[in-house]
Amino acid sequence: MTDDDLCRMTASALVSRMTSGEVKAARLMRAVLDRIERLDGDTNGIAHVAPELAMAEAESRDKALARGDAPGALHGLPVTAKDLLKVKGLPLDMGSFAFVGQVQKDDAEAIARLRRQGAIPFAKTATPEFGHKVLTDCPTNGVSRNPWDLQRSCGGSSGGAGIAAAMGFGQLHVTSDGAGSGRIPASACGVVGIKPTWGTVPHETTTDVFGSFTCVGMMARTVEDVALGLNGMKGADRRDPWSFGGSDHPFRLPHDPLAALRGLRLRLVMRTVNDWVDPDVEAAVRHAVDALMDTGAQNVGEIADPVYDHSNALIYMRAYQYGRFGHLLEEFGERMDPTARMSLIQGDQHSYEKLAKAMRARTDIFHEVERQFDGADVYITPTIATPALLADQKQNEPLIVDGIDRGPLREAWYPYTVPQNASGHPAISVPVGFSSSGIPIGMQIVGPWHSEERLLAIAAAVETLLPWADKWPPVAS
């Protein structure tokens, strides 16, 4: 077995080999580090890596196993984390010159849990500045590019994680998702990404645990690996009040994913505030829904026009960002991403009245998401309205396709992913095919609060019907 073969193996396939000692943690880590050094020059998905620390930890895992110590459930698995999350021994730049060089002394709780189970958090994945947009480029790290077409964006803001999963730069990839940030790049890069229910994974390091839109999630090449990583992070933590509502029991995938479809009631939502969907995307999503129906699911009807007040949700998010980063404008404003700077300036303009309306709009979004479940167990959408955009797309410029202005990016490209962050519902993006130009297409499945196990089961059924894990980007060879 070559080192590249090891890097291409799933976490689930590696676990037994790692815990038995058949595959050494040090060999796998060295293979991953070499693969990043060889291949990430094109994609630019890794913001920080500490090879010496990573190898020392991997060798420590091997020595502990040789001594007879019981291995953790994730023994020796290389894990990346988005550069908005704390990882001991690695910088936390958040894509900004304001934080360059601030090496962390401890882990965020989600990362600490993975480490305690034997995983090795070894690298930080690229993000836009402060994670403020759904395209991944930033002042400190430059432009991150889609492995399937280097002229295209990997999406964002967990864009580096999408690249890492697609390229085999480790097996598990910790994300954050505030408006689709974990699902959009999963779709753009052809992998699986989940945003769990608020608090399923504690997010104790956010500055507003009651008001944040952001959840900690997981990205990987397969549904089984996403479940494995999510189980490694989930559970209550007294520093995050939302985490008290979930369960400590692990999510389990069904032995027969297709059997889980029998009697499933699904609803298709092809359009929300957007009036256009790329024909390739619509065809791929409808094909996947047809496959689910052919295997026992029931389509209970399509809702054509759910109403989500994106503008007020945006106000809430901008005010939160201003409260957290606005003080940096005076010293670092000229060195910031222009749209990051703009979002902070806009945050300063919000009045009490606007914020009150935004808070009420968040309630309206929750009720509207719940309405999708009237007579249905889950609802399904495209993840994004058209496959990955060109890498020079600007967040504050409209979506233009074939010379036609389709509207503001938030409403035209990713209207499907914003509501679940405001409402707290779980959602997962799974690959369902490729566009005519060979770019991955993703489908989003949304469920009621704390329905992650069902979403994972449906995603596993899609994976069985439309397998994707054996497909690798051209630059991943």
**Nearest to residue 468, comparing CAs of 226, 270, 268?**
226
Which has the higher per-residue pLDDT, 350 or 106? Answer: 106
Residue 455 lies in domain: 3-476
Tokens of 146: 């889609």
pLDDT band at 311 (very low <50, low <70, confident <90, very high): confident
Under a CB-based contact definition with an 8 Å cutoff, are residues 3 and 31 in contact? yes
* Residue 347, pLDDT score: 74
Q: What angle do CA 176, 184, 343 make, to 5 degrees?
A: 65
Q: Tell me the mean pLDDT in the region 151-167.
A: 98
Locate tokens 């077409």: which residue? 149
Give CA separation, 264 vs 291, 380, 453, in Å: 13, 12, 14
DSSP string for residues in 306-360: ----HHHHHHHHHHHHHHHHGGGHHHHGGGS-HHHHHHHHHHTT--HHHHHHHHH
Average model confidence (pLDDT) across the chain = 95
Q: From CA 132, how far away is CA 344, in angstroms rounded?
A: 10
- Which of 111-115, 361-365, 411-415, 458-462 comes out lowest in average pLDDT? 361-365
Q: Is the pLDDT of residue 477 over 80?
A: no
CA 132 to chain centre: 14
Give CA separation, 124 vs 78, 127, 163, 169, 472, in Å: 12, 9, 12, 11, 22
* Residue 354, pLDDT score: 81
* Residue 400, pLDDT score: 97
Domains in the chain: how many in total?
1
* Residue 307, pLDDT score: 61
pTM higher than 0.95, yes or no? yes
The percent of residues above 70 in pLDDT, for the chain, comes to 99
Q: Tell me the mean pLDDT in the region 228-235.
A: 98
Contacts with 303 (C-beta within 8 Å, 6 or more apart), sequence order? 267, 268, 269, 372, 379
**Nearest to residue 281, comparing CAs of 192, 380, 372?**
380
* Residue 40, pLDDT score: 98
AA identity, residue 456: L
Q: From CA 464, how far away is CA 98, in angstroms rounded?
A: 45
* Residue 310, pLDDT score: 67
pLDDT band at 247 (very low <50, low <70, confident <90, very high): confident
Under a CB-based contact definition with an 8 Å cutoff, are residues 261 and 289 in contact? no
Q: Is the pLDDT of residue 31 over 70?
A: yes
pLDDT band at 348 (very low <50, low <70, confident <90, very high): confident
Q: Tens of pLDDT along 373-395?
A: 999 999 999 999 999 999 999 99
**Nearest to residue 196, comparing CAs of 384, 370, 421, 371?**
421
E strand or H helix at 224: helix 223-233
Q: Tell me the mean pLDDT in the region 261-270.
A: 96
AA identity, residue 57: E
**CATH, residue 63:** 3.90.1300.10
Three-class secondary structure of residue 63 per DSSP: helix
Three-class secondary structure of residue 432 per DSSP: strand
Strand partners, 125: 46, 82
Give CA separation, 252 vs 19, 230, 237, 314, 411, in Å: 20, 11, 22, 35, 35
Contacts with 16 (C-beta within 8 Å, 6 or more apart), sequence order? 22
Q: Tens of pLDDT along 270-296?
A: 999 898 999 999 999 999 999 999 999
Q: Tens of pLDDT along 91-150?
A: 999 999 999 999 999 999 999 999 999 999 999 999 999 999 999 999 999 999 999 999
- Which of 157-171, 234-248, 348-362 comes out lowest in average pLDDT? 348-362
The percent of residues above 90 in pLDDT, for the chain, comes to 87
Q: Is the pLDDT of residue 208 over 90?
A: no
